Structure 1
């Protein structure tokens, strides 16, 4: 259930850094404070354990079962590889000559798998507190559910290769030109799960967290205010949305190609259930929190690099 398909898009900061001259730290007001609420809003509610530790242990075991059924450890590992690739692009954009070995070491620490898994697992547990987990496990431990997970992860890993990504986008264009009816099913899947909006909001929140990290690290000038940060993030929405749509549809068309229409319809039917919707929301919240943490840390690291090179 690789529904949290956040694109790590924080590569549009050159113009802002051109204004950089030491800044006021950003507040916690991110782009998700506007009309499009991010999936992590209000997610801290219910995080305190109450009485009934036996029940808590049982719930923990069942959450672990959901985590395993979704192959979340593999998803995190793939996202780490994606993040490291994007961080190299980021360094090439921000630093003359790139970041070198020192930057690579920092990025490796920021994207450490145990750290990422702790964030994802704890947020997933919090978001699924009190949820009916049996229907989720029934689907994702079924033959179809296991196959879906394998296909999603295999396709996403393949897309780490830029050539495969380009081929996937070209194949999508051909499907659209031919009026392939499979795209109608994929569009339904995307709409039922709210994939475009959730990914756009998640990417913008991550970009804002990166700005906050730069600001808190002193990379911006005082003339670059909180409102400037927000305005710059919002200015990226159209580009993020366009790339999100293309990436999502090309990825899903590639991942689900081996599925029959009936199998994809069964997946969509599960997504429409209360359990499917609750799980989708929880997974988005988990990866939203992970990406915001990573982006903030990358901002702090980038600010230190900028400062060290100005000495």
Structure 2
């Protein structure tokens, strides 16, 4: 009897542990720790702009400490982990691992991280967007890049994420006493910016994915598009965006509160 109970307990415990291990392996295969470092670098640069634009450059060490805490890579990695664990069943995990833990998958993720880091330079972003725009309509890379973006609904998801982040930032400013607007007024303001955000997102996405995917062989890019068109690809995309949304909306609200706090302290 005791042996049966122990065996049953082992089965209950062992399955989640194995699932947890696969999520960790998938995170490494997707290079999410490196992605999080890139997100932190982007965020710290954006915070410098916020300091200049909204704090007259007077944020100082306290501002830097606040921003650094908001972009702590540990919680960001944990958020992606939870999103993948919650969003992927066993089948999706297995299929995603099979694709991204291969030589082809590793090449793809390596190029995507490198492209994201490069795109922090405005001249690279402009050049990549122009290179995509210069492609003929029937160019296989243009067709596959456009199909990849469409299959993953990346334009709509990015616009929605940017708008949500903008809303949360303004809420942070309002809750911190720096912005006198109601929620309805903030929402109306965010929606007014939707078209501009959409145009910017479309330009960035096309340039980014062309920069990341142009070095690939057509066969590799076709395989990536096929993965995106699979149920596992759709589940992975949804899980990743759930992670992005949780990360960026929390950070955006925190940045708004931090700006308000520092503005009050500096009598701006």
Tell me the TM-score normalized by structure 1.
0.78
Which one of 84, 108, 112 corresponds to residue 124 of structure 1? 84
Q: 2: distance between equivalents of 1:132 and 1:266? A: 16
Determine which structure has more spread, i.e. the larger CA radius of gyration. Answer: 2
1:214 and 2:177 equivalent?
no
Gap runs ≥5 in structure 1: 1-50
1:153-192 to 2 correspondences below 5 Å: 153-175=113-135, 180-192=139-151
Partner of 1:143: 103
Partner of 2:6: none
Q: Deviations over 1:212-260 (max 9, x none)?
A: 2112212222xx2111010011111111110000000011111111112
1:309 shift after superposition: 2.2
Q: In structure 1, the residue corresponding to 2:266 is in which secondary structure?
A: helix
Partner of 1:262: 219
1:76-91 to 2 correspondences below 5 Å: 76-91=36-51
1:1-311 to 2 correspondences below 5 Å: 52-129=12-89, 132-175=92-135, 180-221=139-180, 224-310=181-267
RMSD (Å) for aligned C-alpha atoms: 1.8
Note closer, same or farther for the CA distance 1:56–1:81 as it changes in structure 2 (3 Å cut). Answer: same
Aligned length: 258
Contact map agreement 2:170 2:179 (CA 8 A) in 1: no
Contact map agreement 1:88 1:98 (CA 8 A) in 2: no
Q: 2: distance between equivalents of 1:130 and 1:141? A: 16
Note closer, same or farther for the CA distance 1:262–1:297 as it changes in structure 2 (3 Å cut). Answer: same
Q: 2: distance between equivalents of 1:172 and 1:101? A: 41
Q: With CA pairs under 8 Å and 6+ residues apart, which has the higher RCO, 1 or 2?
A: 1
Gap runs ≥5 in structure 2: 1-10
1:130 shift after superposition: 5.4
